[in-house]
Amino acid sequence: MSILGNILRDLTSVIFPNRCIVCGETVDSSVHGICLSCRLSIPTTGFCYRHQNPIREHFEGLFPVDECSSFFIFKADDSWQRMIHNFKYHDKWGYALTMGRWFGAELRASGHYNDIDLVIPIPLHWRKSLKRGYNQSTYIAEGIAREIGAKLDSSTVRRTKNNPSQTRQHVKDRWSNVDDIFTVRDATKLENKHILLVDDVLTTGATISSCARAILNATPTCRVSIVTLAVAGELAKRL
Ligand SMILES: [Zn+2]
């Protein structure tokens, strides 16, 4: 970069300082939006480094599943929860991409996700997607796909029913609420592929299971793995 370029960059950083997307402290532009203190304090699970882990145990009785992992444990009222709310409800979709890349780098380093062909975000219903303007899981999936060298596919699987938000429902209702809400548009695209399903927060796993079953019913020759950025609720309490 030229001397003038350096001066302009320094001036810009004084006027518009980069802030950590988690704690809000000013950070150097080289740390991709998350300060060292937050990077060191994130409650990661490390599950991506173990084929058998509590997330896989949660899903393996429900349908044939390959690899499973959640990046970190979601705790209410901490700065990581605020960061997730920011990308979910306040248009900060770039945070989802940043976290996806960080998680993706971990998945790549683990060696368990190197044969993934397609990364598929859990789709939102088009009405919810239109209202929000984007699907945050698509950005997490895009970050992961870039890091593990797989293809992002956000169009083959569709959510056909706009089921009500799961957050305030009883656990039993969450499972009956998600029956048959996903369809696969072109099953041939998924044949013999290893698919990585991506969601933002794992709570009961009902929505993810429904999506995985729709894919496996439409394309029995594919394999399905699952990752979520965070794990919350009763499942997280048991970890
Ligand atoms: Zn921070």
Q: Is the pLDDT of residue 54 over 60?
A: yes
Instruction: Give the pLDDT band (50/70/90) at residue 62.
Output: very high
> In this structure, are 17 and 95 located in the same domain?
no
> In this structure, are 22 and 86 located in the same domain?
no
> In this structure, are 171 and 108 located in the same domain?
yes
Which tokens in the block code for residue 8?
A: 């302009």
> In this structure, are 231 and 183 located in the same domain?
yes
> In this structure, are 36 and 96 located in the same domain?
no
> In this structure, are 89 and 147 located in the same domain?
yes
> In this structure, are 8 and 99 located in the same domain?
no
Give the model confidence (pLDDT) of 182-208 as tens digits. Answer: 999 999 999 999 999 999 999 999 999
Cα 25 to ligand 1 centroid, rounded to whole Å: 6
Question: Other C-beta atoms within 10 Å of 185: how many?
Answer: 10
pLDDT, position 130: 87
CA distances 4 to 7, 11, 17, 128, Å, are 5, 10, 19, 46
Cβ proximity of 193 and 222 under 8 Å: yes
> In this structure, are 102 and 185 located in the same domain?
yes
Selection from 120, 109, 195, 105 nearest residue 155 by Cα: 120
> In this structure, are 115 and 97 located in the same domain?
yes
> In this structure, are 224 and 123 located in the same domain?
yes
| Residue carrying structure tokens 């009883």 | 170
Cα 36 to ligand 1 centroid, rounded to whole Å: 7
Cα 226 to ligand 1 centroid, rounded to whole Å: 28
- Give the number of domains in the chain: 2
CA neighbours closer than 13 Å in the CB half-sphere of residue 70: 28
Cα 19 to ligand 1 centroid, rounded to whole Å: 8
Cα 91 to ligand 1 centroid, rounded to whole Å: 19
Residues lining ion ligand 1 (Cβ < 5 A) are 20, 22-23, 35, 38
Residue 17 belongs to what domain range? 1-41
Give the DSSP letter of residue 91. S
Question: Other C-beta atoms within 10 Å of 94: how many?
Answer: 13
